[in-house]
Structure 1
Amino acid sequence: MMSEIVSVFSDHVCQLGEGPSYDPGTDALFWFDIVNGHMLEKGLSGGAVKIHELGQMASAVAIIDDNRQLIATETGLHVRDVTTGKLTLHTAIEADNPLTRSNDSRVHPCGAFWTGTMGKDEEKGAGAIYWFFKGELRRLFSDITVSNSICFSEDGTIAYYTDTATGLLMRVTCDPATGLPTGEPKVFVDHRSSKGHVDGSVVDRDGVLWNAVWGGKAVKAYSPDGTLQREIAMPVTQPSCPAFVGRKGDRLTVTSAWKGKDEKQRKLDPQAGMTFLLDIPVNGRFEPRVLIA
């Protein structure tokens, strides 16, 4: 049953809906069905969903400029021409490893891009989290099973991330000019005794972190000190990632997935894989543009 504040934004069913990102220039939301190699696009004002066939697993999009996007895929970072849809490999990431794919990613306020990888079958420790900035690529964290929750404070001094398999949402100080870590990661939220798993997150202008709880049927909001402020019930078991949307960035969308469910489980979770709109007051902000050179 749908709550008053949660509505269906798109009833297009994704096996693994992920990576929502809003483009204020076109008032459109982009998101992914990772395992099927699709990028979806839909205007906030309505209309049909556009399906962009990418030809490989992909999970995240960032805006370079009005004509180009940066797409994180199983082979690396690709520049996508918005008009033609053509993908051009810019920076390879684990392209020679057929066992891994891209996963959670987000742009730091300075224009750097943190992007995570993981095993296609969630192989233990097969993934990593990388930093990409103006053509340079560095591995930040290794032995990651499921990279998730990459997001940043508005001033760029704090980064968050998780290896979902650990149940620990981490916090690390950053250089606001480069997006590189300046300290050792510390536990921000210990979710191990709570229902579900820490999936995608985003941070608003007030420093509140909004997290989708995979397997927990919820979106949770944490204050800058890690205190749980609010929990919003979702109509699906596996919400996956939130994004701020709207001309003022004052609403949330949340993707979801049916991946891992058999036919009986899917009947019990009929909206799994749809994308939702949360009509709650949020002090959201837009993703920065990514600097590729």
Structure 2
Amino acid sequence: MSLQASLVLNAQNTLGEGVVWCTRSQSLYWTDIHASVLWCYRPADGSTRRWPMPERLASFALCEDDGWLLLGLESGLAFFHQESDQLIRIADVEAGLPTRLNDGACDRQGRFVFGTLHEPMDGEARRAAGAFYRLHKDLRLEQLPLGSVAISNSIAFSPDGATMYYCDSWKRLVHRCSYGDSVADVRLHIDLTQQQGEPDGSAVDSEGGLWNAEWGSGRVVRYTPDGKQDLVISVPASQPTRAAFGGERLNMLYITSARDGLSAEALAKEPHAGGLFAIEVPFTGMPEPRFTGRPI
């Protein structure tokens, strides 16, 4: 079964990512990583708001404390207050390494799990120089034993929180593992090595289906809990980056996308690349988990 997403906002993002729905404000947040801008969109009235960031914003999480976000900036973690623009640094991550933060999401226990990616220097080959981490409520940072990674992505959690999904986009493989205070039993979940696209960001619905945005193939695919392809959402942009469930009933799938790396010829064929897309789907999401740590 295949459906078609429609353009909601022609945001022209260079690298739109990290989309998250806030049930309290009925608003959608996402980042344009390379532009160092945080976006907010309210479907009820079509209004948008943007906040410039001090450096590239890779991912973020809603906080239990209203008005605050946990930011995954390129060099580390910080709290950000939307109304006052107050920024409180928490920790640097992989200082001195040729990496930056990338994908991230809160687990069902309210901890922020994120990964990094390798940024090659001129002439350098991409390599697995990054890792996966978890920020706890007490702001303690823990490296997860999930091996090295070149491009961390697809971080998401099952409805009961007992399974974590993640990937190295460079290898085109999505894995799952048993998840709790520790992680174990890593298994292959999705193999895209024979497909055109690379696995990018993911969301999980209330039935445990994993919705993965496939960079390069212009689609978001739902996979059943046992890893079988179930539903395909076509996106009129070749580089969808991540999906999130939103709307009052959490049955609207919002999808961010990117223009990064596309030639003038390619952009002429997909003028809405970098836009925000949406489609109502026959599944519902769950409220986005919030980070339980507090600004200090």
TM range (shorter): over 0.9
Secondary structure, counterpart of 1:184 in structure 2: strand
Task: Report the Cα offset of residue 276 of structure 1.
Answer: 0.4
The yes-or-no answer on 1:124 pairing with 2:127 is yes
TM-score (norm 1): 0.93
Contact 1:5–1:280 (8 Å) recurs in 2: no
The yes-or-no answer on 1:166 pairing with 2:171 is yes
Listed one character per residue, the Cα deviations across residues 80-123 of structure 1 (whole Å, up to 9, x for unaligned) are 012112211012212444x3221110110001111111123483
> Aligned pair in 2 of structure 1 residues 142, 58: CA closer, same or farther (>3 Å)?
farther
Contact 1:128–1:143 (8 Å) recurs in 2: yes
Listed one character per residue, the Cα deviations across residues 241-271 of structure 1 (whole Å, up to 9, x for unaligned) are 0011112211110000011112222112211
How many Å separate the matches in 1 of 2:195 and 2:230?
A: 15
Match of 1:257 in 2: 258
Task: Report the Cα offset of residue 154 of structure 1.
Answer: 1.1
One-letter amino acid of the structure 2 residue matched with residue 77 of structure 1: L
Match of 1:85 in 2: 85
How many Å separate the matches in 2 of 1:41 and 1:19?
A: 12
Match of 2:50 in 1: 51
One-letter amino acid of the structure 1 residue matched with residue 140 of structure 2: E
The yes-or-no answer on 1:287 pairing with 2:294 is no
Match of 1:39 in 2: 38
How many Å separate the matches in 2 of 1:237 and 1:168?
A: 19
Contact 2:203–2:212 (8 Å) recurs in 1: yes
Alignment RMSD (CA, Å): 1.6
Q: Provide the identity percentage.
A: 31
**Which runs of no fewer than 5 residues in structure 2 stay unpaired?**
none
TM-score (norm 2): 0.92
Q: How many residues of Structure 1 are paired with residues of Structure 2 in the alignment? A: 286
Contact 2:102–2:152 (8 Å) recurs in 1: yes
User: What does 1:193-208 align with in structure 2 at a 5 Å threshold?
Assistant: 193-208=194-209
Listed one character per residue, the Cα deviations across residues 204-248 of structure 1 (whole Å, up to 9, x for unaligned) are 110100010100111100000001111121111000100111122
One-letter amino acid of the structure 2 residue matched with residue 133 of structure 1: H
User: What does 1:233-244 align with in structure 2 at a 5 Å threshold?
Assistant: 233-244=234-245
How many Å separate the matches in 2 of 1:221 and 1:275?
A: 19
How many Å separate the matches in 2 of 1:264 and 1:46?
A: 34
Contact 1:22–1:30 (8 Å) recurs in 2: yes
Task: Report the Cα offset of residue 142 of structure 1.
Answer: 3.9
Secondary structure, counterpart of 1:267 in structure 2: helix
Secondary structure, counterpart of 2:131 in structure 1: strand
Match of 1:186 in 2: 187
How many Å separate the matches in 2 of 1:57 and 1:95?
A: 15
Match 2:140 to one of 112, 136, 154: 136
Contact 1:252–1:282 (8 Å) recurs in 2: no
How many Å separate the matches in 1 of 2:172 and 2:277?
A: 25
